[in-house]
Structure 1
């Protein structure tokens, strides 16, 4: 392996040599650009672009974590090379090429988020025959050029069954046929990932024709390709032949009311569909009326319609479909403010979804009647793990309507009530529920942007907080325009933290720390070794190590 030459510093010391492997070790894990609060659960989803797993997969070799090169290619079970976000340079790519002959058994290669792969991909493609067992190639966000795309298309003639991920490479748009033209009819490809390719309408039409050849397709993700809405007719026709499809994602694809009708006609052929994502397509608003197709998806487990500008007619359509969706587990209707006043019947029918695990209905402008309907239905949802009611002001002073649900929901892990105008009695109620032993499995609790809670109620809440033994994150931050001095409750919070073995983060933005409590915080730091992060939003910040 090459090394950087030694350089003498100004004081005469010699800098240590840097191996290629060190670059891999420094590479940080890839994070998807999607906002964290957009999805709370990954139980049944296949993401648009899969990052490196938190726990290494079996048969995976990570150059960032294993000695390199001694073990490279020597272990027969090492079938996956993960070079995701390793800051590879052109010389590094050339070194990788020299190593390919020693990697004949590699089945998956991930070199995503390495900018220098672009403009050098042709070098790698010329040697792809040396890894003949390769099944998956990930090149997400590598700044591929049009020349790279053409080189990839030529190389794929010898690897027609290779599963590709080229997400977030805009130069693919307009050139998609160069890459995927080699897919044969009856191909075993299960998951071509086509996220944010800047696909053109012509590319969309090509995808429709391509789907006719992919009878084994299980996942189709065309998200963030805003120009394919005009070619959805071709795509919808192709979907009718993908009888094994389980995940369909069309997030932010420029879909219209006409698109809804086209998809509706295709749904009856998608008997195995589990996940459907049509989010962030505002032009679909009003298009769901008289569209019965969703009701035939009897195995559907997840539906994402957030930020679709749903209206009263759309809400009525979904209301009629719900009783037929007995397998439903996840529903995201967030950021549809126009549906708030017309969703009473819809929310009351949630009681027909006993397997529902995740309900995201934040920022929907719910009114008192709709919230009451939701509260009454939620009693019949024992499997709920995630509930997000944030930015619905009607929750304030009426949280007691959810009292029975909070007592019965033994599975609840995430509860978000940010900016809900919570009153003092709401926090007192929450504290009493915790005190009686409920919410024992709660892991994330968001009470931020509720600035009307008095010091006494915060104290009662913090005194009972230690009972949430599985809690990992708590957020009690104030709104950006509000600043308050912390009261006596802060001491009780610190005491509770010492009894929470899983806690890692406490959001406390805009709470002002007096000098006396600053000393108390310093004393806490000295007495406990941990990695708890108190987030003050830049005003005051302290990091602690996890309690032993």
Structure 2
């Protein structure tokens, strides 16, 4: 998902070389008479291998073409060309037309040929500038795709207020498992319409309505209808305008979706919502990921969750980030995470943690033997206290990602990390973010790069400064260069806002050339 929401930007001209799709077309031509053949030239230009791609845009299987992805830079009309192609591929299973805005207003040309692709399982039309007419056309033809399992209509803003044109045509015979409607400007009426549709798409496993901030008022009915989708495993409602009342309604609905594995409620102002509803989480015993970051949670919310979360034995990831009013209550929750045997990821960045919470985390860490991700960024209480965490880790960890951004770290904090790495306890670490710690002096960075060792798997390191900071990297650059061979997996080194001269940039490039490395230095 990160990032992934932004549109692809491509450059360069269309190459005239033969694409993998040409071979497929030629095979079809050999089996058809002259009167059955359609113009090859347009299709050849449209289905091609991208200059920047590592894989082809068309792939074949035993029964012919299984997947088609259309290049957004093609000059021909996407819908017209696609319509010409579809009748030739009755075994087509995946069709991805995403990020082609010229499709908007002409989708009916494509949907009129849906009867030729009855095996289609995946249809992706995200960011295609679909109009109300397109949505209506899709609704009228969708019943022809009896094997459809995934539909993605994300980032089509005109879907808002018009969702009923699509949902009212869905049939009970559908095998739809995945429905994504991210950032579609959905309204409360759309939420109501979708709720009524759940009784038809009973096989639904993944529903993503994120980034529709006006849909919240219409979700009460949808929550009531969750009883119709007992196989639902993923529900994403990030930034959907949820309220405290919505959380109470959702809590009751969780009784009907015991298979739920991932629940995302982030970026909704639901302060106080869990005070009375947290107990309903006990009905989703399979829950693995619980994301409630930036939800304005209160100490009462955290106190209620503290009683329930330790009982969710399958929970692997808990994201509480950006809840700045949870105070000291989170300390007790952190302490009880030790009872989760499969726990892998904790996000408490920007939570205004107190030192007592860090002490409690230090005491809990030895019990979190499966922990892979730890994000403590933007908590100033960590300054001078990293040693408290390190001293409790006396064996190799599974940590892959550690983020300590903007924590006012000191030289002693860096020394604690060095000690842990040299002991071999961070051998699995892949990502280490120390960004925005302008409080670390130059000599401490010299020590860090001179002594750091044991990070054989580290692929991403970020030591960038705050945007308005500008410091010379001269005091430690030479030591960094001598350190890089000890980081054999490093691919990304973030050095934003450090002042680096042209000659110093050349030294970095020379290192890559001489050591046959391809480290991306960002500054």
Short-chain TM bin? 0.7 to 0.9
Match of 1:327 in 2: 314
1:129 aligns with 2:115: yes
1:154 aligns with 2:140: yes
Shift in Å, 1:90: 4.4
2:195 and 2:51 map into 1 onto residues whose CA distance is: 37
Deviations 1:132-189 (Å, cap 9, x if unpaired)?
2112211001001111111111111323553321111011122212112232336421
Indicate which of 444, 467, 477 corresponds to 1:480: 467
- Structure 2 unpaired stretches of 5+: 1-12, 17-40
1:490 and 1:407 map into 2 onto residues whose CA distance is: 32
2:513 and 2:229 map into 1 onto residues whose CA distance is: 61
Alignment partner of 2:402: what SS?
strand
Deviations 1:86-106 (Å, cap 9, x if unpaired)?
334443442332222221110
1:185 and 1:495 map into 2 onto residues whose CA distance is: 65
Indicate which of 478, 488, 494 corresponds to 1:501: 488
Alignment partner of 1:343: what SS?
helix
1:26 aligns with 2:13: no
Alignment partner of 1:239: what SS?
helix
Describe the shift of the 1:101–1:421 C-alpha distance in structure 2 as closer, same or farther (beyond 3 A).
same
The question of whether the paired residues in 2 share the 8 Å contact of 1:186 and 1:216 is answered with no
2:394 and 2:88 map into 1 onto residues whose CA distance is: 59
1:62 aligns with 2:57: yes
Shift in Å, 1:219: 1.0
Which segment drifts farther, 300-309 or 231-240? 231-240
Indicate which of 253, 269, 273 corresponds to 2:260: 273
1:153 and 1:240 map into 2 onto residues whose CA distance is: 24
The question of whether the paired residues in 2 share the 8 Å contact of 1:300 and 1:328 is answered with yes
Describe the shift of the 1:89–1:123 C-alpha distance in structure 2 as closer, same or farther (beyond 3 A).
farther
Shift in Å, 1:295: 2.1
Relative to the length of structure 1, the TM-score reads: 0.83
Which segment drifts farther, 312-321 or 154-163? 154-163
Indicate which of 176, 180, 197 corresponds to 1:189: 176
Describe the shift of the 1:186–1:97 C-alpha distance in structure 2 as closer, same or farther (beyond 3 A).
closer
Match of 1:245 in 2: 232
Indicate which of 274, 283, 295 corresponds to 1:288: 274
Which segment drifts farther, 300-309 or 481-490? 481-490
The question of whether the paired residues in 1 share the 8 Å contact of 2:446 and 2:476 is answered with yes
Aligned pairs for 1:87-236 (under 5 A) are 87-162=73-148, 163-185=150-172, 187-236=174-223
2:120 and 2:521 map into 1 onto residues whose CA distance is: 45
1:530 and 1:277 map into 2 onto residues whose CA distance is: 39
The question of whether the paired residues in 1 share the 8 Å contact of 2:104 and 2:130 is answered with yes
Describe the shift of the 1:517–1:123 C-alpha distance in structure 2 as closer, same or farther (beyond 3 A).
closer
1:419 aligns with 2:406: yes
Alignment partner of 2:326: what SS?
helix
Describe the shift of the 1:22–1:244 C-alpha distance in structure 2 as closer, same or farther (beyond 3 A).
closer
Relative to the length of structure 2, the TM-score reads: 0.87
C-alpha RMSD of the superposition:
2.6
Q: How many residues align?
A: 485
Match of 2:5 in 1: none
Describe the shift of the 1:98–1:408 C-alpha distance in structure 2 as closer, same or farther (beyond 3 A).
same
Indicate which of 438, 441, 449 corresponds to 1:451: 438
2:474 and 2:412 map into 1 onto residues whose CA distance is: 18
Indicate which of 381, 390, 393 corresponds to 1:403: 390
1:364 aligns with 2:348: no
Describe the shift of the 1:412–1:20 C-alpha distance in structure 2 as closer, same or farther (beyond 3 A).
same
The question of whether the paired residues in 2 share the 8 Å contact of 1:275 and 1:303 is answered with yes
Indicate which of 422, 428, 437 corresponds to 2:415: 428
Runs of 4+ aligned structure 1 residues displaced above 6 Å come to none
The question of whether the paired residues in 2 share the 8 Å contact of 1:88 and 1:115 is answered with no
- Structure 1 unpaired stretches of 5+: 7-16, 30-53, 67-72, 537-548
Shift in Å, 1:474: 0.5
Deviations 1:376-427 (Å, cap 9, x if unpaired)?
1222101111111000000110011111454445210110001111111110
